[in-house]
Structure 1
Amino acid sequence: MSGARRVSKKQPQPGFSPRRLYVVLALLGLCGLGLAARAVDLQVLDHSFLARQGDLRNLRIEPLAAHRGVITDRAGRPLAVSTPVRTLWANPREVLASPDAWNRLANNPVLNTRTLSQRVNAHPEREFIYLARHLPPEQAQQVLDQKVPGIYALTEYRRYYPAAEVVSHLVGFTNIDDVGQEGMELSMERRLRGEPGRKRVVRDLHNRVIQDIEVLDEARPGEDLALSIDLRLQYIAYRELLSAVQEYNAAGGSAVVLDAHTGEVLAMVNQPSFNPNNRAGVRLSALRNRAITDVFEPASTIKPITVAAALESGLVQADARVNTHPGTLRVANKTIRDHRDYGIIDITTILTKSSNVGVAKLALEMDQQLLPGYMSEFGFGEPTGIPFPGESSGLLPIRQRWRDIETATLSYGYGVSVTALQLARAYGVLANGGVRLPVSLERLDSAPEGVRVISEHNANQLVTMLETVISEVGTARRAKVAGYRVAGKTGTAHKLTAAGYAEDRYVAVFAGLAPADNPRVVTVVVVDDPQGAYYGGLVAAPVFGRIMEGVLRTLNVEPDQPAGQYASMVLSGEAR
């Protein structure tokens, strides 16, 4: 029937199964038992596993700082030492996570809130930045005591120079990372620097070291370095040179003191100087070790080498006489002049009176290559071989053919450029009986082997001749040292500029040795561009005398004559 109601059949519902519930509960129970068993195993049976895992999250490898080698003078007096300092660093992520703690540094003189904010906000993704380096421990502790999360400290070493500007040009200095930048600090970097080590430490949740576990690699300190200088002599030379540069308002100056028997540098000073402990505002020009890097024309201090070449070649004997009349000598288009007409004079008087005409005539009688050859043997035109950055080799021209005017001017110190150290080495040949010794900036245990340049006889003759320069009739009366016989030579050179030789600018030089009967010390003094007086005998010679007096007495060198006796001998003409 169409109107009949359709009856739908009811779908059967799935019945409740207790077995499925039991299976789920059983699985949960087994998991719980497994976790409990594992917990028992870790906490009781295998406790070391958790300890190891905890250590892995707290153990760290930390660097062990190695201090740089100590630089001392020849007697062990410290010239450069490394002192432990504290460096503050931060993990910007940790610091930025606790901005409320920054106010603890609001008025801190070492690191304030503003500086901290600027530093960490500039490097938010980094895990290490420096905040302040090389702080005294007490200053660093002022910051650490505020317990700002993310700020830590580490130990570094900072270089300190006890003698400051007195040895600054020779010793040099290091940068903030303790790497040598100038002087012996730079040239001996490999020997002086230490090798950092490693250690394993435990840090807490605040990243603080709470326990040192073990040293993995021992830090190896750098090698100590004993220089040849004597700090007592260094102070003497520094004081006297500074006094002269200030007195004559000079542009600068240098002084070198050599041991005549070993070639060791006993003192080396320069002006202007600088304090390596505080180099703020120091000009680059003040950093130069002028005694090694700066060259000048030695003028008349070269004349003993010209005379040595004449004697050694057999051209003349010590008693030979040279006619210097009328006090001038025309060579090519140049007139060579003496201070006055000395007439016919012997070789000694050529040096005593510093006769340009006399030495020029000697040089012009030689073979063209003879004089340059002897100058080379005395060490001009080549570096001294010391391990020092920026050493100049000077300038000694090499020519196939020398014009007469070139030979003549070379004979009295023009056309050749030297350093103060080279000039001291050359006079060391005379002081050491004609043997040239290598120069050393490090203390030596014994004298090195040298190279013979001229005969011992001729060297001794030249020293005797140079004693007359210090006499009342010589050009360097102010270089005398009471109680000692002194030999030396003055020099006054026009400064060479871009426009040629300056008419009113000079370099005043004195080079000498003492005691003359058995030379122990060689000293060279150079004063650059003195104002007012400018002659070597007036400006540089007195500095030499004061330095030499202090050096000889400090070294306890026995006087070779009673005080006053030498002066009377010179006046009577007996000092030869």
Structure 2
Amino acid sequence: MLGCAAVALLVRLVDLQIVRARSARDAIALAESRVPASRGTLLDRFGEPLAWDRPVYEVRASAESFAGLPAKSGAVPDRKQLAQARDRLVADFAWALTRDRERFGSAMQQDSLRRTLRERVERAVEHAFAKGRTRVDVLVDRELDDSAAVAALRELDVRRAPRERGEQRPYRLYLTFAPRWEREYAAAEPLAAFVGRVQPGPLRLPGDDGKLAIVDDRFPVSGLERLMPLVPGESGRSLLRTDAFSRTYWTGDRREPEAPAELRTTLDPALQIRADAELGQAVESVRAHYGHPPEWGALVLVDARTGGVVAAASYVAGKDGRPDRNSAFTPAQRVFEPGSVVKPLHVAMVAERGQLDWSEPIDVHAGYLAGSDRASPGQRVPRREIRDDHPNTVLTPREVLIRSSNIGAVKLGLRLGAEGIEDYLSIYRFGQPTSIGYPGEQKGTRPAPIPSLPPSEQLAFAGPSVLFGYQIGVTPFQLARAFLTFVSGRPRELHVIDAAKQGDAFLPVAYASDGPSFLNASTRADVCAALVQVVEDDHGTARLVGRWLRELRAQRGTAGPVIAGKTGTSQYVGKTTRWDGSAFHGDIRTSTFAGFSPVDEPQFLVVCVLQKAGAGAFYGGLYAAPAAARLLVAALDRAAAAWRTTDHDRSVSGSVAVGPEPGGSGPSQRR
């Protein structure tokens, strides 16, 4: 007997020390844990985070030998034991998670937590019973980052103290802590539309082998979050060791995940909040007058010195008239005909080419037929009458801008000829997306090259139309770019990603260089003087803003601020969806204002757009201009009082290129 026992003991020792040890070593070599890489970080112009990843654990539990669950499918469960085990599991999880006082510090938060845990456990128990299992698998938490709660949960795991834990509970509990990232955002809701959001769901992108692979468990659905440089890089990994009690230990063999990108934007959160509020006030003024809100609106603020977008507010009417935050981002994704707001852009080119005298009289009597004064002898021009909203007689070129005469603008603009009008469309880049690289930005529209059109189109239709803002489709961003080009006297581009971090330093993002100068300072000064009077003159189309500015200057006892700007109102007959969700077919009007200040050396420029179906008289000076002016003054005040040095030196040696989705036009490749 003793001999047999000795042999059995020897066999057991060989099995444990050699056979199973080799198997355990093999298992250890294969136990690899993925360490996910985080998404990139978006920063505001001051380097403060707008969107960033927070490291958390996703905690899942397997409760084995769950009391009350039958081992065979179809058998009857012991409902009393099952209820006791279920309640105990909920209580255990709640006991541990409520150590996180930040998330579950109040009685209301704790009650909500217990309800959520109970629902999860009940679903998991039902699933286990349906499958004939005695193991219950349940999600405990997806975003745990509190060390006290983590420690408390680990105490529940049988691998920490298997004998004691196994005897005390009606199940054997095993917990897994999978590291993941939770996306966080700056608190202000007005930032949401521009910055965007991610939602749970796999993001698949082609790898080096061309095959799709999951690179993140979150899918970017909107905004700047869809920029490719924010996509997580290569994951890291850690090797794990498991002991005889199935307890897991780090081996110290670890490869860190690829470091995330850090992109600095040009956004100022305080001015973004202000822009959202001012656009909301403009919407309410429309609602107060018409009884219902506009269908959509946009308010864009640009740093005229750098071309950086400082703020961009978006409004799309929901069915109750309140903002629909899940709809299109209007500054980049709504195209409209700008109307009279573009008149100073081509009048400046006429002046630059020496084709006007600022004191000359322009006959703007009613009855003007487009192109009739430019046709060659014997040339037949189709009859198309150009009308002004308000009758005028004789105006100087400056008064043409102040009173926004369509007749005067067409007469002046046609002096450019077909080639000159084409230069106007090309220099201001109508029909081209901006370099902002906002995912989903609309391209805009424009006619075919003007010189390629028949003479009748050049003189009577497309040529005159583009001179007072028709047959041109722009987004609010694209209109802001056109005015940035005008105030600079050379083609300029907008941007919102200012710099990307490489190593310990931020390098400016590489964009297309500015184009050559096409307006001299003297020409710009002449046109700007007229645009000041658009606001200040009692006959100016933005005179409502002028009255407010005079009151403001009187209150402050200063000579400023002074704003130069131009209003625009366009209309067309078409179809749209109204604020209440109903279909509309009829007259649709767009109210626009573009302005800038200071006039001599603009620091900021602003564009406001509102579109309303069935609005009747819906003038830019009444609805768009006041909101734009208030935001412009707020920006000047804030910059004077609070802006740190944010005119980042873009001549720094070296640059980086970033951009939107594949095939986009702005800042893109993945790192």
| Interval of TM-score (by shorter of Structure 1 and Structure 2) | 0.7 to 0.9
Assess if the C-alpha contact under 8 Å between 2:363 and 2:408 holds in 1. yes
Q: Name the residue aligned to 1:573.
A: none
Q: Name the residue aligned to 1:86.
A: 57
Report the AA paired with residue 109 of structure 1: R
Report the AA paired with residue 170 of structure 1: F
Question: Which of these two proteins has the greater Rg computed from alpha carbons?
Answer: 1
Match of residue 547, structure 1, among 624, 631, 653: 631
Match of residue 410, structure 2, among 342, 355, 360: 360
Q: In structure 1, the residue corresponding to 2:336 is in which secondary structure?
A: coil
In the alignment, structure 1 residue 307 sits paired with structure 2 residue 347: yes
In the alignment, structure 1 residue 485 sits paired with structure 2 residue 524: no
Instruction: Tell me, in whole angstroms, the C-alpha distance in 2 between the residues paired with 1:429 and 1:557.
Output: 27
Q: Name the residue aligned to 1:538.
A: 622
In the alignment, structure 1 residue 68 sits paired with structure 2 residue 68: no
Instruction: Tell me, in whole angstroms, the C-alpha distance in 1 between the residues paired with 2:492 and 2:415.
Output: 30
Matches of residues 165-184 of structure 1 in structure 2 within 5 Å?
A: 165-176=189-200, 177-184=217-224
Q: In structure 2, the residue corresponding to 1:549 is in which secondary structure?
A: helix
Deviation, structure 1 residue 145: 7.1
Matches of residues 129-144 of structure 1 in structure 2 within 5 Å?
A: 131=139, 134-137=142-145
Per-residue displacement from partner, 1:129-187 (whole Å, max 9, x unpaired)? 87366344578899877665355342321111123422112211112223422221112
Q: Name the residue aligned to 1:468.
A: 533
Assess if the C-alpha contact under 8 Å between 1:378 and 1:453 holds in 2. no
Seen in structure 2, the aligned counterparts of structure 1 residues 128 and 254 have a Cα distance that, compared at 3 Å, is farther
Q: Name the residue aligned to 1:114.
A: 122
Seen in structure 2, the aligned counterparts of structure 1 residues 38 and 286 have a Cα distance that, compared at 3 Å, is closer
Deviation, structure 1 residue 85: 3.2
Seen in structure 2, the aligned counterparts of structure 1 residues 132 and 496 have a Cα distance that, compared at 3 Å, is farther
Q: Name the residue aligned to 2:594.
A: 511
Assess if the C-alpha contact under 8 Å between 1:479 and 1:543 holds in 2. no
Q: In structure 1, the residue corresponding to 2:282 is in which secondary structure?
A: helix
Assess if the C-alpha contact under 8 Å between 2:590 and 2:612 holds in 1. yes
Seen in structure 2, the aligned counterparts of structure 1 residues 109 and 103 have a Cα distance that, compared at 3 Å, is same
Deviation, structure 1 residue 221: 3.3
Instruction: Tell me, in whole angstroms, the C-alpha distance in 2 between the residues paired with 1:372 and 1:557.
Output: 43
Q: Name the residue aligned to 2:266.
A: 228
Instruction: Tell me, in whole angstroms, the C-alpha distance in 1 between the residues paired with 2:569 and 2:336.
Output: 11
Deviation, structure 1 residue 428: 0.6
Instruction: Tell me, in whole angstroms, the C-alpha distance in 1 between the residues paired with 2:384 and 2:128.
Output: 72
Assess if the C-alpha contact under 8 Å between 2:124 and 2:136 holds in 1. no
Deviation, structure 1 residue 493: 1.4
Match of residue 442, structure 2, among 389, 392, 402: 392
Seen in structure 2, the aligned counterparts of structure 1 residues 344 and 78 have a Cα distance that, compared at 3 Å, is same
In the alignment, structure 1 residue 298 sits paired with structure 2 residue 338: yes
Report the AA paired with residue 467 of structure 1: V
Instruction: Tell me, in whole angstroms, the C-alpha distance in 1 between the residues paired with 2:150 and 2:115.
Output: 10
Match of residue 408, structure 1, among 464, 480, 486: 464
Assess if the C-alpha contact under 8 Å between 2:434 and 2:478 holds in 1. yes
Report the AA paired with residue 604 of structure 2: V
Q: List gaps (5 residues or longer) in structure 1.
A: 1-24, 275-281, 559-576
Assess if the C-alpha contact under 8 Å between 1:324 and 1:345 holds in 2. yes
In the alignment, structure 1 residue 340 sits paired with structure 2 residue 404: no
Per-residue displacement from partner, 1:262-286 (whole Å, max 9, x unpaired)? 2111111111499xxxxxxx99883
Match of residue 441, structure 1, among 464, 472, 496: 496
Root mean square deviation, CA, Å: 3.8
Seen in structure 2, the aligned counterparts of structure 1 residues 97 and 511 have a Cα distance that, compared at 3 Å, is farther
Match of residue 286, structure 1, among 326, 337, 340: 326
Instruction: Tell me, in whole angstroms, the C-alpha distance in 1 between the residues paired with 2:186 and 2:247.
Output: 35
Q: Name the residue aligned to 1:563.
A: none
Seen in structure 2, the aligned counterparts of structure 1 residues 142 and 343 have a Cα distance that, compared at 3 Å, is farther
Q: Name the residue aligned to 1:316.
A: 356
Q: In structure 2, the residue corresponding to 1:475 is in which secondary structure?
A: coil
Seen in structure 2, the aligned counterparts of structure 1 residues 523 and 94 have a Cα distance that, compared at 3 Å, is farther
Per-residue displacement from partner, 1:105-138 (whole Å, max 9, x unpaired)? 467433333211244467789x998736634457
Q: In structure 1, the residue corresponding to 2:234 is in which secondary structure?
A: coil
Assess if the C-alpha contact under 8 Å between 1:244 and 1:539 holds in 2. yes
Deviation, structure 1 residue 252: 2.1
Seen in structure 2, the aligned counterparts of structure 1 residues 213 and 178 have a Cα distance that, compared at 3 Å, is same
More deviation in 545-554 or 213-222?
A: 213-222
In the alignment, structure 1 residue 494 sits paired with structure 2 residue 544: no
Matches of residues 89-100 of structure 1 in structure 2 within 5 Å?
A: 89=60
Assess if the C-alpha contact under 8 Å between 2:561 and 2:598 holds in 1. yes
In the alignment, structure 1 residue 522 sits paired with structure 2 residue 605: yes
Report the AA paired with residue 460 of structure 1: A
Q: Name the residue aligned to 2:520.
A: 456
Deviation, structure 1 residue 424: 0.5
Instruction: Tell me, in whole angstroms, the C-alpha distance in 2 between the residues paired with 1:364 and 1:437.
Output: 25
Assess if the C-alpha contact under 8 Å between 2:298 and 2:314 holds in 1. yes
Per-residue displacement from partner, 1:517-551 (whole Å, max 9, x unpaired)? 11111110111218687210010110011100100
Seen in structure 2, the aligned counterparts of structure 1 residues 539 and 131 have a Cα distance that, compared at 3 Å, is same
Q: Across the two proteins, how many residue pairs are aligned to each other?
A: 517
TM-score (norm 1): 0.79
Seen in structure 2, the aligned counterparts of structure 1 residues 466 and 409 have a Cα distance that, compared at 3 Å, is same
Report the AA paired with residue 326 of structure 2: A
Q: In structure 1, the residue corresponding to 2:302 is in which secondary structure?
A: strand
Per-residue displacement from partner, 1:51-75 (whole Å, max 9, x unpaired)? 5644545673212233322211010
Deviation, structure 1 residue 461: 2.3
Instruction: Tell me, in whole angstroms, the C-alpha distance in 2 between the residues paired with 1:283 and 1:143.
Output: 42
Seen in structure 2, the aligned counterparts of structure 1 residues 180 and 42 have a Cα distance that, compared at 3 Å, is same
TM-score (norm 2): 0.68
Matches of residues 178-193 of structure 1 in structure 2 within 5 Å?
A: 178-188=218-228, 190-193=229-232
Instruction: Tell me, in whole angstroms, the C-alpha distance in 2 between the residues paired with 1:123 and 1:284.
Output: 44
Alignment identity in percent?
27
Deviation, structure 1 residue 496: 4.7
Q: In structure 2, the residue corresponding to 1:335 is in which secondary structure?
A: coil
Seen in structure 2, the aligned counterparts of structure 1 residues 64 and 368 have a Cα distance that, compared at 3 Å, is same
Report the AA paired with residue 152 of structure 1: T
Deviation, structure 1 residue 420: 0.4
Q: In structure 1, the residue corresponding to 2:340 is in which secondary structure?
A: helix
Instruction: Tell me, in whole angstroms, the C-alpha distance in 1 between the residues paired with 2:155 and 2:253.
Output: 28
Instruction: Tell me, in whole angstroms, the C-alpha distance in 2 between the residues paired with 1:451 and 1:94.
Output: 74
Deviation, structure 1 residue 333: 4.6
Instruction: Tell me, in whole angstroms, the C-alpha distance in 2 between the residues paired with 1:206 and 1:34.
Output: 27
Q: Name the residue aligned to 2:211.
A: none
Seen in structure 2, the aligned counterparts of structure 1 residues 203 and 557 have a Cα distance that, compared at 3 Å, is same
Q: Name the residue aligned to 1:200.
A: 239
Seen in structure 2, the aligned counterparts of structure 1 residues 489 and 129 have a Cα distance that, compared at 3 Å, is farther
Instruction: Tell me, in whole angstroms, the C-alpha distance in 2 between the residues paired with 1:58 and 1:94.
Output: 26
Assess if the C-alpha contact under 8 Å between 1:87 and 1:140 holds in 2. no
Per-residue displacement from partner, 1:184-218 (whole Å, max 9, x unpaired)? 11123x44424321112234677553x22223311
Seen in structure 2, the aligned counterparts of structure 1 residues 66 and 342 have a Cα distance that, compared at 3 Å, is same
Deviation, structure 1 residue 238: 1.4
Instruction: Tell me, in whole angstroms, the C-alpha distance in 1 between the residues paired with 2:36 and 2:136.
Output: 18
Assess if the C-alpha contact under 8 Å between 2:349 and 2:519 holds in 1. no
Report the AA paired with residue 428 of structure 2: F
Report the AA paired with residue 154 of structure 1: A
Instruction: Tell me, in whole angstroms, the C-alpha distance in 2 between the residues paired with 1:84 and 1:154.
Output: 11
Per-residue displacement from partner, 1:280-318 (whole Å, max 9, x unpaired)? xx9988332210111000001111122123223433233
